[in-house]
A and B are shown apart, each in its own frame.
Chain A
Amino acid sequence: MIIIMLVLIVILALYSLIGRDLLHVVIAMSAISLICALLFVLLDAPDVAITEAAVGAGVSTVIYVWALRHTRRRDDDNT
């Protein structure tokens, strides 16, 4: 179970590095935070899990999407 989660985290992290559509990347990062929170619950750290779920999957996603709304959605090649 934990191994599946870790592999998923690595795959999502690689996608968020390489992906070109920034909205998809933001959602992938939010999913990373969610899987991390589940992982923390499995490892008996509920305090950290609450923080990770609230900050990582909630507030930071809101801030990223807000920033995305005021800029362009596609990643640029020549920057």
Chain B
Amino acid sequence: MTTRRWLNGAGTWLAIIALAVILAPIFLSATPWPTVARDYLQQQGTADSGAINLVSAIYLGYRVFDTFGETIVLLVAILGTMGLLSQLEHLVEPAQNDQKALETTSRFALAQEKRRSHTLRTHLLEVVTGKVGPIVLLFGFYVMLYGHISPGGGFQGGVIVASGIVFLSLGNPQEGSFGISRPQVLIRLEILAFFTLIVIFSSGLITGSGFFGNPLADTPFPVAHIVLLNAVIGLKVGMSIGFMCIAMMGERT
């Protein structure tokens, strides 16, 4: 046992030293950073896309392909998590009144009558999360919709919206008194958002700017494309992460 532990420790330190040896030349080198893309974006970025925040102009304008890939990665991750969670439910017998079944089921709190989180809940948590939840939701939608002007965007706003949803579902005294913390509503909104995303990506085909192209590039408001994409991606991210967290906390799915 002790030799094993010693070996584990030695392996950890060996990995750290190897990482330092690999990374040291990168930190010590004095190669100048490439500036061509930076200069081009500084001169042309705002005029091309209409967005003042150049980060959103890049990831929703010039590199939409990467954003689409990220969205799909998130979708697959949520699918895998939900698959694992639904498998967990099969391992658990239906809850009965005797102590053993309660003990078993409270370990995998998933369905309505097996919730352990209710017993751990305090008035402080309920009051604070119930009051803070709507404000967090509002801030999330602000970050989402103003991603083209101020720092933020779809993914960031979506995660804030997700925490707002989790706050609301922690804070409400009755089950499902807020529609947005109900899993059926969340999953429908997510499906709708992903469908809209694909429709927006394909709409460039009709106007001639190609798949992933900006269909409004020739109009006076090219920034509408970025605002729309931010809103849809934010909805999708927020709903899926909120859905996952609520399923983990033991809401009925």
Query: Please, which residue of chain B has its CB at the minimum distance from the CB of A58?
Result: B163
**Chain A neighbourhood of B143, CB < 8 A:** 50
Contact among A17, A47, A59, A66 with B153 in the assembled complex (CB-CB below 8 Å): A47
**Chain B neighbourhood of A50, CB < 8 A:** 143, 151-152, 156
**Using an 8 Å CB-CB cutoff, how does the interface string of A49-67 with B read, 1 for contact, 0 for none?**
1110011001100110010
Inter-subunit contact A51/B156 (CB<8 Å) = yes
**Chain B neighbourhood of A58, CB < 8 A:** 159, 163
- Whether a CB of chain A sits under 8 angstroms from the CB of B155 is yes
Report the bound CA distance from A47 to B144 in whole Å: 12
Report the bound CA distance from A47 to B151 in whole Å: 5
Query: Please, which residue of chain A has its CB at the minimum distance from the CB of B140?
Result: A54
- Whether a CB of chain A sits under 8 angstroms from the CB of B245 is yes
Report the bound CA distance from A78 to B1 in whole Å: 7
- Whether a CB of chain A sits under 8 angstroms from the CB of B180 is no
Inter-subunit contact A54/B160 (CB<8 Å) = yes
Q: How many chain-B residues does the 8 Å CB contact rule pick out?
A: 26
User: A18-B12, A70-B107, A78-B4 given as contacts; is B245 within 8 A of A59 (CB)?
Assistant: yes
Query: Please, which residue of chain A has its CB at the minimum distance from the CB of B245?
Result: A62
**Chain A neighbourhood of B166, CB < 8 A:** 62
Report the bound CA distance from A63 to B84 in whole Å: 14
Report the bound CA distance from A45 to B75 in whole Å: 27
Q: What bracket does the count of chain A residues touching chain B fall in? A: 10 to 19
- Whether a CB of chain A sits under 8 angstroms from the CB of B145 is no
Report the bound CA distance from A75 to B16 in whole Å: 20
Inter-subunit contact B4/A59 (CB<8 Å) = no
User: A18-B9, A50-B151 given as contacts; is B159 within 8 A of A59 (CB)?
Assistant: yes
**Chain B neighbourhood of A49, CB < 8 A:** 151
**Using an 8 Å CB-CB cutoff, how does the interface string of B127-163 with A read, 1 for contact, 0 for none?**
0000000000000000100000001110110011011
A20-79 at interface with B (beta carbon < 8 Å): 46-47, 49-51, 54-55, 58-59, 62-63, 66, 70, 77-78
Inter-subunit contact B151/A54 (CB<8 Å) = no
24 contacts between A and B (CB under 8 A): A14-B16, A17-B12, A17-B16, A47-B153, A47-B156, A49-B151, A50-B151, A50-B152, A51-B155, A51-B156, A54-B156, A54-B160, A55-B159, A58-B163, A59-B159, A59-B245, A62-B248, A63-B248, A66-B249, A77-B1, A77-B4, A77-B5, A78-B1, A78-B4
Top 8 closest A-B pairs, CB basis? A46-B151, A54-B159, A50-B156, A47-B55, A47-B151, A66-B248, A51-B156, A17-B12
Binding site for B on A (CB under 8 A): 14, 17-18, 46-47, 49-51, 54-55, 58-59, 62-63, 66, 70, 77-78
Extra pairs beyond A50-B156, A59-B162, A66-B249 (8, CB < 8 Å): A47-B156, A50-B143, A51-B155, A55-B159, A59-B159, A59-B245, A63-B248, A66-B248
